[in-house]
Amino acid sequence: MFPRVKLEAPANNLYSAKVAIKNGADMIYAGIKGWSVRPNIFEMEKEEFEAVIKLVKKHNKEILLVMNCFYGSKELDKALKLIEEMSGKGLSGVIVSQPALAREIKTKFKGLTVHISVQSSASNSKELEFYKSLGIDGVVFARNTIESNPENIQRLSNYGVKIGVFIVGDDIANYDGKCYLSSYLNHKLINDGTERYSCAIGSANKSGYCFLMCKRKCRLLKDGKIQGDGYYLRRQDLALFNKTKELVSSGVSILKIQGREWPVPLVARLVRYMRLALDSLEDEAKYQKAINQLSKLVRIKQQIQANHLWLLSKSKFRIWLALRKHLQRPWDNLETLLWLYAPFFEKMRWRKFQKENLILN
Amino acid sequence: MEKISEREFNPQLSVIITTIGQFQGLNQGLFDKIFFGNPFCPTGKDNPAYNPQILRQACSGLTFKDKLILNMPVCPLEDELLGITKILDTAREEGIPGVSVSSYGMAAWIRRDYPELKIYFDSFSNVYSLKDAELFRELGSDAGLLAYEAGLDECESIMKESGLEIIIPVFGRFPIAFSRYCFFYPGRLPQECSNQCNDDYRLSFSGSSEVLQKGRALYSAKRLSMFGHLPLLLSKGLFSFRIEGWIMPVSEINKTADSLRQMLGGAFNNHAYKELFEISTYSLCNGFLFAARGEEYIR
């Protein structure tokens, strides 16, 4: 008998929240423009977020507000004000990265659940002990550490803090929240019209406008001589859904799907098949079917992302974002079309990507 | 609480070095604190952050033991905690005064189980605000580095309002990211490490001229040099500076420290200035302090 775990899905607008709930998500996480580790285009206006709260509450699910940037001294009070406002509207909880902010929330808003973001790169029991002392409810473990040793989770799950892991998502070469690769090359402060003090373009930590330098093609030189061109900093994507049974039985409480920046139809299918996998843990045939579907989806996700990156490399990032902002709904439709046709091109394109050494290992 | 502004001006100079080779050639008398060990590389054979033998070896050759600060591993896995306990036990036995940590959990643990060790927070602790700094102070720390992305105003206000000693990197290699993966031999064992990352590998992104140096499972970016801004930093009340000696030749560290000492001693003489600028003739970066990109040099 497997214990019950929660499936946490992303939403970047009301429509995607609806779709995620319809497909079986237990929790929805979403950000308000300017306040989470994603560009504004993948976040919502306050009014839309309030509508999402209503929708989620109507379905007896949970809604978490993502506040996982690293805020400066001037921004923390504004962040707390925003949380207070949303708390009054029925918010279930908050995802944060800064322990100092987490402690403030726990002190001031006792009814709110507080989860520590993957941005904190928690990777061991000492971190859990510390977060437990602050009264934190859940910790999402670092993306590039937990996979190697899932048996440790069993021990870690006894610390009284819920453990969350990303089961589908990008894997990055560097630690979440501890990388200045993008901001070193691109950092720029702008006023983006949100309530925050300023928006740090290029910074993954301060505003989530990361230029994903680690996913770009680069050239390796040794003593000035070219060794080769390739995606040297890119890692294989996370596919922990293959280990769903082990994770669930060892005590993981939250299974999280990345994807506020991914097309809605893709996230919808990921949620649907993950739900199927969780509901059929005792039924091997159904479980395997779901896992196979998820594997296929992750491949297609890589292709979509590769196209997205290709577009990013061909256009100015901000122009691209502005275009997406104004064409959001048509773009969702276009991506749905691409999604439908993607399987026809899958084999051909997959071979090409492999040839280009897109995925290491 | 003593306010920094009320203290007598006493400039502090520290250095971070990673290998026993660097350590043996270091002119220890030039520094107030010596941060020792590579927190990013679990497989390097000569890394005191992961190897107690190397730490003991270093301690036996230390003239000024009260200056040594041991860098603790960043984001250790659960399986590595036992090894870290051995390192901390060694540090305690050898009478090392402090350790540098990169997370709150590690700080809380060391505070509880090794109260005699002073705690410093490193730049990857992500201290961006006054409240973060205050939390570290509650955990027993009274000095450390803010996140690299913190601006000069933040450094100044956090230092003044928290009473903490904020250390500013002023020269050397600027680590901008680190990875659990070894890019040379993924999944290798420590005994297979050939220190290949110490070679002159460079990485450039297609379509741009930016070059990053890879080394020791981290990317050490172009050289950092803040010498031109020392008067500005001092005028803001900042008084603690660090040379980022990652993979730097030890002779260069000593030479820089010597000139820097002269400058911090009040001797803003042309000779010291000239020497420092000769050392840092290319690839200057310090933009984060001025709300620009890290590699940008603000004049």
pLDDT band for B4, please (50, 70, 90 cuts).
very low
Cα dihedral: A30, A34, A37, A38 (round 10):
80
Look at the block and give the residue holding tokens 């649907």. Answer: A272
For an interface test with B, the pick among A98, A172, A180 (most B C-beta atoms closer than 10 Å) comes out as: A180
pLDDT value at residue B1: 43
Closest chain A CA to residue B178 = A174
Backbone angles phi and psi of B5, in degrees to 5:
-65, -20
Amino acid sitting at position A143: R
Q: Which residues contact A233 (CB under 8 A, 6 or more apart)?
A: A173, A174, A213, A214, A215, A216, A218, B183, B203
Chain segment A29-69, per-residue pLDDT in tens: 999 988 998 877 788 999 999 999 999 999 999 999 999 99
Q: Do A180 and B186 touch (CB under 8 A)?
A: no
| Interface contact flag, B204 A185, Cβ < 8 Å | no
Q: Which of B105, B122, B68 is nearest to A116 (CA)?
A: B105
If you average pLDDT over each of A151-155, A337-341, B82-86, which comes out highest?
A: B82-86
What integer pLDDT is reported at residue A297 of this predicted model? 84
Torsion of CA A223, A226, A230, A233, to 10 degrees: 10
- Given a contact cutoff of 8 angstroms between Cβ atoms, the answer to whether A86 and A51 are in contact is no
Whole-number Å distance between alpha carbons of A69 and A78: 13
The residue-averaged pLDDT of A229-252 equals: 83
Report how far residue A199's alpha carbon sits from residue A189's, in angstroms, rounded to the nearest whole number: 6
Closest to A37 in 3D by CA, of A27, A48, A46, A29:
A29
Determine the pLDDT at residue B270: 62
Read off the pLDDT of residues B23-51 as tens digits, 9 standing for 90 and up.
889 999 999 999 999 888 877 677 888 88
**Statement: residue A8 has pLDDT above 90:** yes
Tokens for A359? 């995925």
CB contact under 8 A, B78 and A177: no
The residue among B273 and A86 whose pLDDT is bigger is: A86
The percentage of residues in chain A with a pLDDT greater than 70, rounded to a whole number, is 81
User: Between A and B, how many residue pairs show a Cβ–Cβ distance under 8 A?
Assistant: 201
pLDDT of residue A201: 78
| Average pLDDT over every residue of B131-144 | 95
A255: three-class secondary structure by DSSP: strand
CB contact under 8 A, A76 and B147: no
Contact A217 B205 (CB under 8 A): yes
Q: Which H or E run contains B86?
A: helix B81-94
A220: helix, coil or strand? strand
DSSP B8: P
Nearest to A43 by CA among A62, A65, A60, A61: A65
Give me the residue from A103, A120, A180 closest to B148, CB to CB: A180
Extract the tokens encoding A299. Answer: 């491949």
Mutate to test the interface with B, among A71, A107, A126 (most CBs of B within 10 A): A126
A177: left (phi over 0), alpha (psi -120 to 50) or beta: left
Q: What is the mean pLDDT of residues B163-179?
A: 86
- Residues from chain A that touch B159, judged by Cβ atoms under 8 A, are none
> How far apart are the CA of A321 and the nearest CA of chain B, in angstroms?
20
Contacts of B106 in chain A (CB under 8 A): 126-127
Instruction: Indicate the pTM of the whole model.
Output: 0.88
Q: Nearest to residue B280, comparing CAs of B155, B190, B161, B170?
A: B170
pLDDT score recorded for residue A357: 36
pLDDT for res A172: 74
Return the SS3 of A263.
Answer: coil
